[in-house]
Protein backbone atom coordinates (compact mmCIF):
# COMPACT_ATOMS: atom_id res chain seq x y z
CA UNK A 1 0.00 0.00 0.00
CA UNK A 2 1.44 3.37 -1.02
CA UNK A 3 2.07 6.04 1.57
CA UNK A 4 -0.27 9.06 1.66
CA UNK A 5 0.91 12.15 -0.15
CA UNK A 6 2.49 14.93 1.92
CA UNK A 7 0.90 18.38 1.81
CA UNK A 8 2.82 21.39 3.06
CA UNK A 9 0.29 24.05 3.98
CA UNK A 10 -0.24 27.34 5.78
CA UNK A 11 -3.67 27.78 7.31
CA UNK A 12 -4.48 31.33 6.17
CA UNK A 13 -2.95 31.24 2.68
CA UNK A 14 -5.77 31.34 0.08
CA UNK A 15 -3.79 29.12 -2.28
CA UNK A 16 -3.42 26.52 0.48
CA UNK A 17 -7.08 26.90 1.45
CA UNK A 18 -8.26 26.02 -2.03
CA UNK A 19 -5.96 23.02 -2.18
CA UNK A 20 -7.30 21.77 1.15
CA UNK A 21 -10.88 22.36 -0.02
CA UNK A 22 -10.37 20.03 -3.00
CA UNK A 23 -8.52 17.40 -0.99
CA UNK A 24 -11.27 17.44 1.62
CA UNK A 25 -14.03 17.20 -0.98
CA UNK A 26 -12.24 14.31 -2.67
CA UNK A 27 -11.67 12.54 0.64
CA UNK A 28 -8.09 11.73 -0.38
CA UNK A 29 -6.02 11.48 2.83
CA UNK A 30 -2.72 13.33 2.98
CA UNK A 31 -0.06 13.87 5.60
CA UNK A 32 -0.60 17.54 6.44
CA UNK A 33 2.45 19.55 7.47
CA UNK A 34 1.58 23.05 8.70
CA UNK A 35 4.49 25.44 8.30
CA UNK A 36 5.25 29.06 9.07
CA UNK A 37 6.26 31.09 6.04
CA UNK A 38 8.98 32.83 8.03
CA UNK A 39 10.41 29.52 9.24
CA UNK A 40 10.30 27.28 6.18
CA UNK A 41 11.70 23.82 6.96
CA UNK A 42 14.50 22.38 4.85
CA UNK A 43 12.35 19.41 3.79
CA UNK A 44 9.81 21.80 2.30
CA UNK A 45 12.37 23.96 0.52
CA UNK A 46 13.97 20.84 -0.96
CA UNK A 47 10.65 20.01 -2.64
CA UNK A 48 9.12 23.34 -3.58
CA UNK A 49 10.72 25.14 -6.51
CA UNK A 50 8.78 28.30 -5.65
CA UNK A 51 9.24 28.08 -1.90
CA UNK A 52 5.53 28.80 -1.44
CA UNK A 53 2.59 26.80 -0.16
CA UNK A 54 0.85 24.63 -0.94
CA UNK A 55 3.27 21.97 -2.09
CA UNK A 56 2.31 18.32 -2.44
CA UNK A 57 4.64 15.35 -2.66
CA UNK A 58 3.00 12.16 -3.96
CA UNK A 59 5.62 9.50 -4.48
CA UNK A 60 7.94 10.74 -7.24
CA UNK A 61 5.51 13.51 -8.20
CA UNK A 62 5.77 17.00 -6.73
CA UNK A 63 2.99 19.53 -7.33
CA UNK A 64 3.91 23.11 -6.54
CA UNK A 65 0.76 24.88 -7.82
CA UNK A 66 -2.51 24.98 -5.93
CA UNK A 67 -4.68 24.36 -9.00
CA UNK A 68 -2.62 21.31 -9.90
CA UNK A 69 -3.20 19.99 -6.39
CA UNK A 70 -6.94 20.60 -6.69
CA UNK A 71 -7.11 18.67 -9.96
CA UNK A 72 -4.85 15.90 -8.58
CA UNK A 73 -7.29 15.29 -5.74
CA UNK A 74 -10.49 15.61 -7.76
CA UNK A 75 -9.21 13.36 -10.54
CA UNK A 76 -9.07 10.60 -7.93
CA UNK A 77 -12.54 11.26 -6.54
CA UNK A 78 -15.03 14.02 -7.31
CA UNK A 79 -18.24 13.20 -5.43
CA UNK A 80 -19.53 16.80 -5.55
CA UNK A 81 -18.87 17.21 -9.28
CA UNK A 82 -16.48 20.15 -8.95
CA UNK A 83 -14.76 19.23 -12.22
CA UNK A 84 -18.03 19.65 -14.13
CA UNK A 85 -17.15 23.17 -15.19
CA UNK A 86 -17.22 24.99 -18.54
CA UNK A 87 -14.09 26.53 -20.04
CA UNK A 88 -15.28 29.90 -18.81
CA UNK A 89 -14.46 28.70 -15.30
CA UNK A 90 -10.79 28.41 -16.18
CA UNK A 91 -10.91 31.93 -17.61
CA UNK A 92 -12.34 33.28 -14.34
CA UNK A 93 -9.67 31.48 -12.32
CA UNK A 94 -7.00 32.99 -14.56
CA UNK A 95 -8.40 36.48 -13.99
CA UNK A 96 -8.54 35.84 -10.25
CA UNK A 97 -4.96 34.65 -10.10
CA UNK A 98 -3.73 37.45 -12.37
CA UNK A 99 -5.20 40.97 -12.33
CA UNK A 100 -7.42 40.47 -9.28
CA UNK A 101 -4.68 38.98 -7.12
CA UNK A 102 -2.35 41.83 -8.09
CA UNK A 103 -4.97 44.41 -7.10
CA UNK A 104 -5.79 42.48 -3.92
CA UNK A 105 -2.16 42.48 -2.82
CA UNK A 106 -1.90 46.21 -3.42
CA UNK A 107 -5.03 46.83 -1.35
CA UNK A 108 -3.93 44.53 1.46
CA UNK A 109 -0.35 45.79 1.63
CA UNK A 110 -0.95 49.44 0.75
CA UNK A 111 1.00 50.64 3.78
CA UNK A 112 4.13 48.94 2.43
CA UNK A 113 3.97 50.48 -1.05
CA UNK A 114 5.70 53.71 -2.00
CA UNK A 115 3.31 54.12 -4.95
CA UNK A 116 0.16 53.12 -3.12
CA UNK A 117 -3.11 54.33 -4.64
CA UNK A 118 -5.77 52.68 -2.44
CA UNK A 119 -8.77 54.10 -4.29
CA UNK A 120 -7.51 52.96 -7.71
CA UNK A 121 -6.33 49.59 -6.45
CA UNK A 122 -9.68 48.91 -4.78
CA UNK A 123 -11.45 49.96 -7.98
CA UNK A 124 -9.28 47.51 -9.94
CA UNK A 125 -10.17 44.72 -7.54
CA UNK A 126 -13.84 45.69 -7.60
CA UNK A 127 -13.97 45.31 -11.37
CA UNK A 128 -13.46 41.57 -11.03
CA UNK A 129 -15.97 41.34 -8.19
CA UNK A 130 -18.58 43.08 -10.36
CA UNK A 131 -17.87 40.50 -13.04
CA UNK A 132 -18.53 37.74 -10.52
CA UNK A 133 -21.72 39.51 -9.39
CA UNK A 134 -22.99 39.42 -12.98
CA UNK A 135 -22.04 35.74 -13.31
CA UNK A 136 -23.84 34.68 -10.13
CA UNK A 137 -27.33 34.27 -11.58
CA UNK A 138 -27.56 31.00 -9.63
CA UNK A 139 -26.22 30.14 -6.16
CA UNK A 140 -22.84 29.33 -7.70
CA UNK A 141 -20.87 30.63 -10.66
CA UNK A 142 -22.12 27.97 -13.07
CA UNK A 143 -25.35 26.70 -11.60
CA UNK A 144 -26.74 25.08 -8.49
CA UNK A 145 -23.60 23.33 -7.31
CA UNK A 146 -20.05 24.56 -6.78
CA UNK A 147 -17.25 23.90 -9.23
CA UNK A 148 -13.49 24.27 -9.09
CA UNK A 149 -13.95 27.91 -10.09
CA UNK A 150 -16.06 28.70 -7.02
CA UNK A 151 -13.67 27.01 -4.64
CA UNK A 152 -10.54 28.39 -6.31
CA UNK A 153 -11.81 31.99 -6.26
CA UNK A 154 -13.72 32.25 -2.96
CA UNK A 155 -10.63 32.18 -0.70
CA UNK A 156 -9.32 35.28 -2.47
CA UNK A 157 -12.65 37.10 -2.34
CA UNK A 158 -12.70 36.30 1.38
CA UNK A 159 -9.23 37.79 1.77
CA UNK A 160 -10.23 41.04 0.09
CA UNK A 161 -13.49 41.26 2.02
CA UNK A 162 -11.72 41.12 5.36
CA UNK A 163 -9.25 43.87 4.50
CA UNK A 164 -12.21 46.21 5.15
CA UNK A 165 -15.37 44.23 5.87
CA UNK A 166 -17.46 47.33 6.56
CA UNK A 167 -16.64 48.69 3.10
CA UNK A 168 -17.21 45.31 1.46
CA UNK A 169 -20.62 44.86 3.07
CA UNK A 170 -21.84 48.27 1.88
CA UNK A 171 -21.08 47.62 -1.79
CA UNK A 172 -23.83 46.89 -4.30
CA UNK A 173 -23.05 43.28 -5.08
CA UNK A 174 -25.72 41.33 -3.14
CA UNK A 175 -25.27 38.05 -4.99
CA UNK A 176 -21.51 38.10 -4.42
CA UNK A 177 -22.02 38.87 -0.72
CA UNK A 178 -24.53 36.02 -0.38
CA UNK A 179 -22.15 33.67 -2.22
CA UNK A 180 -19.29 34.55 0.11
CA UNK A 181 -21.41 34.34 3.27
CA UNK A 182 -22.68 30.89 2.30
CA UNK A 183 -19.08 29.81 1.81
CA UNK A 184 -17.91 31.18 5.16
CA UNK A 185 -20.52 29.23 7.12
CA UNK A 186 -20.30 26.06 5.01
CA UNK A 187 -18.97 22.78 6.44
CA UNK A 188 -16.58 22.68 3.47
CA UNK A 189 -14.80 25.88 4.53
CA UNK A 190 -15.05 25.41 8.29
CA UNK A 191 -13.70 21.89 7.94
CA UNK A 192 -10.45 23.01 6.31
CA UNK A 193 -9.70 25.85 8.73
CA UNK A 194 -8.79 23.86 11.83
CA UNK A 195 -5.61 25.03 13.51
CA UNK A 196 -2.64 22.68 13.53
CA UNK A 197 0.69 23.04 15.31
CA UNK A 198 3.74 23.98 13.30
CA UNK A 199 5.31 20.87 11.81
CA UNK A 200 8.84 19.76 12.67
CA UNK A 201 10.72 16.65 11.48
CA UNK A 202 9.90 13.70 13.72
CA UNK A 203 6.43 14.95 14.66
CA UNK A 204 3.50 12.51 14.62
CA UNK A 205 1.61 12.34 11.34
CA UNK A 206 -1.39 14.65 10.98
CA UNK A 207 -3.87 13.04 8.59
CA UNK A 208 -6.04 15.40 6.56
CA UNK A 209 -8.97 15.27 6.18
CA UNK A 210 -9.48 13.67 9.55
CA torsion angle 98 61 36 208 (round to 10): 100
- Give the pLDDT mean for 167-172: 97
Instruction: Write down the pLDDT at residue 56.
Output: 98
- Give the pLDDT mean for 148-153: 98
Does an H or E element contain 62, and which?
strand 61-63
pLDDT of 79-125, one tens digit each?
999 999 999 999 999 999 999 999 999 999 998 988 989 899 999 99
Instruction: Write down the pLDDT at residue 2.
Output: 73
Q: How many CB atoms lie within 10 A of CB 6?
A: 19
4 touches 56 (CB < 8 A)? no
9 touches 69 (CB < 8 A)? no
**What architecture does CATH give domain 5-79+194-208?**
3-Layer(aba) Sandwich (3.40)
Residues of each domain in the chain carrying CATH 3.40.30.10: 5-79+194-208
Query: With bands split at pLDDT 50, 70 and 90, how would you rate the model's confidence at 194?
Result: very high
Instruction: Write down the pLDDT at residue 1.
Output: 56
Which among 24, 9, 16 is positioned nearest to 188, based on CA atoms? Answer: 24
Q: How many CB atoms lie within 10 A of CB 74?
A: 21
Mean pLDDT of the chain: 96
73 touches 16 (CB < 8 A)? no
Q: Is the pTM here over 0.75, yes or no?
A: yes
pLDDT of 117-146, one tens digit each?
989 999 999 999 999 999 999 999 999 999
Residues of each domain in the chain carrying CATH 1.20.1050.10: 87-189
Integer Cα distance of 95 and 26 in angstroms: 25
- pLDDT score of 23 more than 90: yes
87-189: CATH topology: Glutathione S-transferase Yfyf (Class Pi); Chain A, domain 2 (1.20.1050)
pLDDT of 34-80, one tens digit each?
999 999 999 999 999 899 999 999 989 999 999 999 999 999 999 99
Amino acid sequence: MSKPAILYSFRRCPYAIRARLAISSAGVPVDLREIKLREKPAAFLALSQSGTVPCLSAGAEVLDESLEIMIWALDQNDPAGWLQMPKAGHTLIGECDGPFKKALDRVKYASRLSDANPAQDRANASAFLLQLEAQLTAPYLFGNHPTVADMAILPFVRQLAFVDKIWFDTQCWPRLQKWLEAFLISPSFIGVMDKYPQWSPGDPVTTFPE
